[in-house]
Amino acid sequence: MQEKTKQDALNRIARMSGQVNGIKKMVEDERYCVDILTQVSALRAALDQLGVILLSTHLENCVYGHDEKGDHPHNFTAEERKEEIRVTLNRFLK
């Protein structure tokens, strides 16, 4: 994983951790349920966006891309690429 992508992912995870703590406090404080649900929805969207970033990074760099030396990290055949994409999407979309 490229350093920029790694740092972006870690920053997003830190924000999501803050969102989880905020939701916990809202529940403890018995806040209005709709307000809590709004925050849950925002957290879900943030998690989905992190997944999209990781998925696209995997496809771009691991399945179709090159490493820093310009070499293919995996020498996938066309059939192996299709299978890798299928397996990856299946795991992400569960």
Looking up residue 77, the CATH number of its domain turns out to be: 1.20.58.1000
In angstroms, the first-to-last Cα distance of the chain is 23
Would you state the pLDDT for residue 1? 82
How many structural domains does the chain have? 1
- pLDDT-derived band at 77, boundaries 50, 70, 90: confident
Cα–Cα distance list, 14 to 3, 17, 22, 43 (Å): 16, 5, 12, 12
* Percent share of the chain, pLDDT over 70: 91
- The string of pLDDT tens digits covering residues 16-27 is 999 999 999 999
Let me know how long the chain is. Answer: 94
The span from the CA of 12 to the CA of 57, in Å, is: 15
pTM over 0.75: yes
Question: Domain span at residue 23?
Answer: 3-93
